[in-house]
Structure 1
Amino acid sequence: MTMIHILDEETVSHIAAGEVVERPASVVKELVENAIDASAQRIRVEIRSDGSFVRKMTVSDDGTGMTADDASLAFRQHATSKIRSADDLLEVATLGFRGEALASIAAVSEVVLTTRRKDDLVGTRLHLSGGVVTRASETGAPPGTTISVSDLFFNTPARRKFLRTVSTELAHIFDLMERIALSHPEISFTLIHQEKEKFTTSGREDLVETIQEIFGSDLARRLIPIVPVQGGLMVTGYLAYPLPVHRSGRSTYLSVNGRQIISQPLVRAIREGFGTSLPKDRFPFAVLDIRLDPGEIDVNVHPTKREVRFRKERDVIDSLRKTVWSTLSDPMTAPGGATAIEKGAVGLKKRHLHTRVAEGAASYPGMDAGEPEFSKRDYERSDHKLRQTELADVPAGTETTSPHVRRVLGQVHGTYILAEGEDGDLLIIDQHAAHEKIVFDALMKKREGVVSSQHLLVPVMVQLSHRDAALVRDASGDLHAAGFVIEPFGGDSWAVQAVPAAGWKMDDPDDIQSLLLEVIEGIRGPATDRQMRVCMTIACRTAIKGSTLLSQEQMERLISQLLYAGPPFTCPHGRPALARFTDVDLGHLFQRR
């Protein structure tokens, strides 16, 4: 007697169903994608559930519909209208193509199909149970197709046992429908649960309108349109800024040729495109559609078709990253077509960006009546830091137009600057995060290729612990590549001969030691990452600190530099440098609205 035997047809169908139908959301996905392939303009999804299970899913569309013969064939294994031969798999242009979905769904549920073509006088209705047609009849019906699926996994109780709670399963369905609606703004979608509408999209081919209909107007106001890179990937869609950040990549909605997908490499590419605008392990809100020749992608690599393979994956990832970076770097991109914070944070009036401080007692505001108490040393230290970040390519005294801020109101806790925007909006600036962003941007612009060194006139002596000294010895080659020249000077002392070129003087031993140790912590890795870490650390160490009193003139200069630098208004670590409160926001805060 042989040990190997051929499985019966029922068992095979249940196994196949397990690959395609993982949960109720899988059923909705397959039915909605079939409706899209049928050229539907309106798709309605209705969900019924009780306290323990999603009981019924109904998908209705106004697509092409089917004849009675096609309707009965549709539930046969590998029956499809999408492809005819293996060659067609090389350039799949439809969402479905395998001919497995309806057969797999019917094999583990109760199904009722109603369909009619536009030119037919009557429609067709089929009842199926466990994949078997139990009743077929003619019926009156509107053009299109309606499929109701109930009692999912009724004949495979083991599968039903492993489903999650009803709230989790519903969350998967809602998330799926949001993703499909965002990838097809040209189609009107309606999602209903327990006879209550969750959302409806207009189908007017306006992605901003679709985002607003699903997520609300507050998010829609933050949208920035993608700016394609010339000669790069064809990408359309929107990013949200200022950033509503999330702990997972689920807030990134991706599609390729209208097929909503999940791709960790592409999500990472989008995140990397934000550079230092995002805190570590946070992800942005983005809705993007990538357009590629169907021959450049393989959609036949996963049972659910939610994963795809690119023929030139590295090129796609690099191009997507550059596209996101280019969009965020473009001063013309902003919510509502204004600047990055909608006219409110649009800079100071014409002013001298290079303000020279006169010599003498009147050179710092602490000597003037009505100003806060300053020490001359603190004032001159802040003034020195601001002069270092004035625009190096603008001659002293040159008039430069930067965006308009009506007036600077003052400083709170020596850390936050309050200003009134052009439209009367209240602007709150974190002075350390703002100056850190200014320094970082200036450093990154100066760096191209190899990290250069700034040799010190007098070596700076630093004291290192045994652990830190061992790290320095072990990372000596990488430290040299990062721009340091450091030599032992006996005992625990080390002489720092050169530091990474910052574009301005670095001679504070504490700053140099901190920079050295922070760079050591993450020195290994790609050279581009090394440069960014060095720049981030220099920016943090040399920027104006919190709890530092600034004069009115210094606050104006700092805001001018920040707004001239442009978005994103975040420090290199992703913390916001600027917050804006409109009249509406303040009205809500004080319950006036």
Structure 2
Amino acid sequence: MADVINLLSDAIANQIAAGEVVQRPASVVKELLENSVDAGSTDIRLYIKDGGHSLIQVVDNGCGMTETDARMCFERHATSKIRTADDLFHIRTMGFRGEALASIAAVAQVELKTRRNPDDTGTLIAIEGSKIQTQEICSTPPGTSFSVKNLFYNVPARRNFLKSPPVEMRHILDEFQRVALANPDIFFSLHHNQTEIYHLPAGNLRQRIVNIFGKNYNDKIIPIEEETDLVKISGFVGKPEFSKKTRGEQLFFVNNRFVKSGYLHHAVMMAFEDLLPKENFPFYAIYMDIDASKIDVNVHPTKQEIKFEDEKLIYQFIKVAVRHALGQFTITPMLDFDPSSNIDNSLKSNASRYADDISNERYQSETITYKSGSSNYKSSNENLKNWQSLYENLTPNQDFFSVESPNFEDDKSITLQSNIEEDNENISTGKNGFNKHHKEPYQIHNCYIVSPIKSGYMLIDQQFAHERILYERFLSILGSNAMGTQKQLFPKKISLNAADAEVLRYIIDEIMELGIEIQEAENNHFIIHGLPAEQKDGIDEQALIEGLVEQYRFNLDMDLSLKDSFAKSMAKSASIKRGKTLSIKEMNALIDQLFACEIPYKSPGGHHCFITYDLEDLKKQFLNN
């Protein structure tokens, strides 16, 4: 039998290695930026075209390379960072494996220009698919310029898996921000398609955070500073009231290297404990300076995973440091620790930044000019008949007692649309506040609605239910391009950070289709001239736009359509929130509309809108005891 095992060529081996090191354009950006940092650069400039599909270029003023080193840097496992195996346990540089440039050169067209400061001339090398096309002397400033063109040009299967330019650009922004935050003493700039996105002067960490995330972060962050014999912890955490529903602003750095650690993230979340609204995430940029011999960064080719010699001790240090910072600045919000209450006051206050409720005016007839097309959003009478069957043959003896909702003025209540004639019968109340008719729904802690049905009872999450109602309504309106715009008497000017402004520029046409009339101004400012007719007066325009951008960025990874993404975001923003008191009339209307939806069972985010409980099962719970 003939021999079947062959030694792969260097070109094929490099392409295989590139599968781990170079996963997308952002991977190239990370490797090139870290090389520039290791070269002692004080000025690093990143140029991107088409989200990295066409061009990724990094220009620095670092130490540069000799002609021989310029050629050697593209060889596999060629590096200036380590010489012995023992060096692996004392690494302070960002790169050390000697794989990145060889892997990049295997799947792209690369041009390198480099020159040391003492030299009169530099070196130009052009490589395509690991094969050198050109090597010659050139005139170039001191430092190094790497140009990576047409990534995966020779691996069509990999190139086809690249996402759209906006998606890839979002990942590039993430990597750029991480390297820039790890090195606030270095000047960084980022250009995308001839537009400067970031211009970050060298400074301290607070200045770098503000320059990246926006001026409003200056008042949102709290410093951390703790030191032990094992580790020095520094950085900033965000105040709980400025937490967000989506991840992305949680950053750990170990010896100035960005790392991902769910274990350490859990330590931070435990430090916040009840200070955060449910399912919210705080901002943090936490830096740990630790003896390099106490950690192992050689866990994964991307070097974003790390192992600690004593991980449990680091966990406790992080937890205590964050708690100390939060306590020192006395930012603990007023919390209701009454065990009989389920209302999260911090959630209610945070929700007020958005359109928390639906006012009477929202569903009143208005004279509004709509775009071409008309909404075909209709409640399904057939759906209503189906769910109404749950209530057939329901007698007072089968009902559950209900507590009447607290009294409040009608003009402050929420009026929900309903295609079912509402029962205006007065509710008589018994001696202990129990409803004698036993047919009306009622609220638990102003969060959930209990509604009797013939087989038992139904528990409805009022926020998720209303999100489903609004989601289907907005999706229908967007599908028919019928969202109306109500002009603002006084246009509102808002400011976004560079990353959010870049996303907004890409989706601004779709934003306009939502009924938001918005115009770009200078320096990442935007002017809002009109809002959707569905939104209530007094809405926080800044929060609305930030919410849309945040939701869009979050949904990119799930490949949702723009309309679907915006419908989800608008529904989440405009829905009633937990903690909102509803009248019986409003609860009935909410139930009517929920079961008129095409999919009443789940919220747009996949949560249950309601749960049914069988009366027989409930009886067994008592009889068994």
- TM-score of Structure 1 vs Structure 2, range by shorter chain: 0.5 to 0.7
Q: State how far apart, in whole Å, the 2-side matches of 1:282 and 1:222 are.
A: 15
Corresponding position of 2:402:
none
Corresponding position of 1:236:
234
User: 1:444-473: CA deviations, max 9, x gaps?
Assistant: xxxxxxxxxxxxxxxxxxxxxxxxxxxxxx
How far off is 1:6 after superposition?
2.8
Corresponding position of 1:187:
186
Corresponding position of 2:27:
26
Indicate if the aligned counterparts of 1:32 and 1:59 stay in contact, CA closer than 8 A: yes
How far off is 1:248 after superposition?
4.2
- Aligned-partner SS, 2:157: helix
- Aligned-partner SS, 2:288: strand
Indicate if the aligned counterparts of 1:233 and 1:320 stay in contact, CA closer than 8 A: no
The residue type equivalent to 2:212 in the other structure is I
- Aligned-partner SS, 2:202: coil
Corresponding position of 2:325:
327
The residue type equivalent to 2:42 in the other structure is Q
Corresponding position of 1:13:
14
Aligned counterparts, 1:123-134, within 5 A = 123-134=122-133
Aligned counterparts, 1:460-475, within 5 A = none
How far off is 1:17 after superposition?
1.2
How far off is 1:148 after superposition?
0.3
User: 1:374-404: CA deviations, max 9, x gaps?
Assistant: xxxxxxxxxxx9xxxxxxxxxxxxxxxxxxx
Residue 281 of structure 1, aligned match among 279, 282, 287: 279
Give the unaligned 5+ runs of structure 1. Answer: 334-338, 347-384, 386-414, 417-513, 515-586
The 1:590–1:162 alpha-carbon spacing in structure 2 relative to 1, beyond 3 Å, is closer
- Aligned-partner SS, 1:228: strand
**Over the residues paired in the alignment, what is the CA RMSD in angstroms?**
2.9
Aligned counterparts, 1:491-530, within 5 A = none
Q: State how far apart, in whole Å, the 2-side matches of 1:168 and 1:262 are.
A: 21
Q: State how far apart, in whole Å, the 1-side matches of 2:272 and 2:229 are.
A: 21
Indicate if the aligned counterparts of 2:188 and 2:199 stay in contact, CA closer than 8 A: yes
Q: State how far apart, in whole Å, the 1-side matches of 2:84 and 2:29 are.
A: 27
Indicate if the aligned counterparts of 2:48 and 2:193 stay in contact, CA closer than 8 A: yes
Indicate if the aligned counterparts of 1:114 and 1:146 stay in contact, CA closer than 8 A: yes
Give the unaligned 5+ runs of structure 2. Answer: 339-344, 347-443, 445-537, 543-625
Q: Is 1:37 aligned with 2:38? A: yes
The 1:13–1:219 alpha-carbon spacing in structure 2 relative to 1, beyond 3 Å, is same
Q: State how far apart, in whole Å, the 2-side matches of 1:590 and 1:183 are.
A: 32
Q: Is 1:305 aligned with 2:303? A: yes
- Aligned-partner SS, 1:237: strand
* Residue range with higher mean Cα deviation, 223-232 or 193-202: 223-232
Corresponding position of 1:459:
none
The residue type equivalent to 1:79 in the other structure is A
Indicate if the aligned counterparts of 1:91 and 1:295 stay in contact, CA closer than 8 A: yes
The 1:160–1:278 alpha-carbon spacing in structure 2 relative to 1, beyond 3 Å, is same
- Aligned-partner SS, 2:126: strand
Q: State how far apart, in whole Å, the 1-side matches of 2:225 and 2:12 are.
A: 51
Indicate if the aligned counterparts of 1:223 and 1:238 stay in contact, CA closer than 8 A: yes
Aligned counterparts, 1:402-441, within 5 A = none
Corresponding position of 2:611:
none
- Aligned-partner SS, 2:241: coil
How far off is 1:85 after superposition?
1.2
Q: State how far apart, in whole Å, the 2-side matches of 1:285 and 1:127 are.
A: 42
How far off is 1:155 after superposition?
0.8
Q: State how far apart, in whole Å, the 1-side matches of 2:248 and 2:264 are.
A: 12
Corresponding position of 1:551:
none
Indicate if the aligned counterparts of 2:240 and 2:275 stay in contact, CA closer than 8 A: no
Q: State how far apart, in whole Å, the 1-side matches of 2:138 and 2:539 are.
A: 55
The 1:112–1:327 alpha-carbon spacing in structure 2 relative to 1, beyond 3 Å, is same
The residue type equivalent to 1:185 in the other structure is P
Indicate if the aligned counterparts of 2:240 and 2:276 stay in contact, CA closer than 8 A: no
Corresponding position of 1:202:
201
Corresponding position of 2:60:
61
* Count of matched residue pairs: 346
The 1:590–1:46 alpha-carbon spacing in structure 2 relative to 1, beyond 3 Å, is closer
Aligned counterparts, 1:119-268, within 5 A = 119-204=118-203, 206-228=204-226, 233-268=231-266
User: 1:340-364: CA deviations, max 9, x gaps?
Assistant: 49xxx99xxxxxxxxxxxxxxxxxx
Q: State how far apart, in whole Å, the 2-side matches of 1:226 and 1:117 are.
A: 39
How far off is 1:2 after superposition?
3.5
Q: State how far apart, in whole Å, the 2-side matches of 1:72 and 1:229 are.
A: 44
Q: State how far apart, in whole Å, the 2-side matches of 1:321 and 1:590 are.
A: 35
How far off is 1:280 after superposition?
2.9
User: 1:129-183: CA deviations, max 9, x gaps?
Assistant: 1111111111111111000000111111111111222211110001111111111
Indicate if the aligned counterparts of 1:229 and 1:323 stay in contact, CA closer than 8 A: no
Q: TM-score, normalised by structure 2?
A: 0.52
How far off is 1:318 after superposition?
1.4
Aligned counterparts, 1:439-588, within 5 A = none
The 1:16–1:230 alpha-carbon spacing in structure 2 relative to 1, beyond 3 Å, is closer
The residue type equivalent to 2:12 in the other structure is T
Indicate if the aligned counterparts of 1:117 and 1:123 stay in contact, CA closer than 8 A: yes
- Aligned-partner SS, 1:79: coil
Q: State how far apart, in whole Å, the 2-side matches of 1:263 and 1:589 are.
A: 35
The 1:281–1:233 alpha-carbon spacing in structure 2 relative to 1, beyond 3 Å, is farther
How far off is 1:40 after superposition?
0.5
Q: TM-score, normalised by structure 1?
A: 0.55
Aligned counterparts, 1:74-85, within 5 A = 74-85=73-84
Indicate if the aligned counterparts of 2:240 and 2:282 stay in contact, CA closer than 8 A: no
Q: State how far apart, in whole Å, the 2-side matches of 1:322 and 1:158 are.
A: 48
User: 1:213-242: CA deviations, max 9, x gaps?
Assistant: 111111122211103166674111111115
Corresponding position of 1:295:
293
The 1:7–1:230 alpha-carbon spacing in structure 2 relative to 1, beyond 3 Å, is closer
Residue 270 of structure 1, aligned match among 264, 268, 271: 268
The residue type equivalent to 1:328 in the other structure is L
The residue type equivalent to 1:145 in the other structure is T
Indicate if the aligned counterparts of 1:249 and 1:267 stay in contact, CA closer than 8 A: no
Q: How many percent of aligned residue pairs carry the same amino acid?
A: 40
The 1:590–1:67 alpha-carbon spacing in structure 2 relative to 1, beyond 3 Å, is closer
- Aligned-partner SS, 2:92: coil
Q: State how far apart, in whole Å, the 1-side matches of 2:253 and 2:313 are.
A: 17
Q: State how far apart, in whole Å, the 1-side matches of 2:311 and 2:301 are.
A: 20
Q: State how far apart, in whole Å, the 2-side matches of 1:82 and 1:213 are.
A: 31
How far off is 1:3 after superposition?
4.2
Q: State how far apart, in whole Å, the 2-side matches of 1:285 and 1:106 are.
A: 37
* Residue range with higher mean Cα deviation, 230-239 or 22-31: 230-239
Q: State how far apart, in whole Å, the 1-side matches of 2:225 and 2:168 are.
A: 36
Indicate if the aligned counterparts of 2:254 and 2:289 stay in contact, CA closer than 8 A: yes
The residue type equivalent to 1:37 in the other structure is D
Corresponding position of 1:377:
none
Q: State how far apart, in whole Å, the 2-side matches of 1:277 and 1:237 are.
A: 20
- Aligned-partner SS, 2:248: helix
Q: State how far apart, in whole Å, the 1-side matches of 2:228 and 2:78 are.
A: 42
Indicate if the aligned counterparts of 2:18 and 2:103 stay in contact, CA closer than 8 A: yes
Q: State how far apart, in whole Å, the 2-side matches of 1:222 and 1:32 are.
A: 29
The residue type equivalent to 1:277 in the other structure is L
Aligned counterparts, 1:96-135, within 5 A = 96-135=95-134
User: Which is higher, the Rg of structure 1 or of structure 2?
Assistant: 1
Indicate if the aligned counterparts of 1:54 and 1:170 stay in contact, CA closer than 8 A: no
How far off is 1:246 after superposition?
2.5
Indicate if the aligned counterparts of 2:91 and 2:292 stay in contact, CA closer than 8 A: yes
The residue type equivalent to 1:284 in the other structure is P
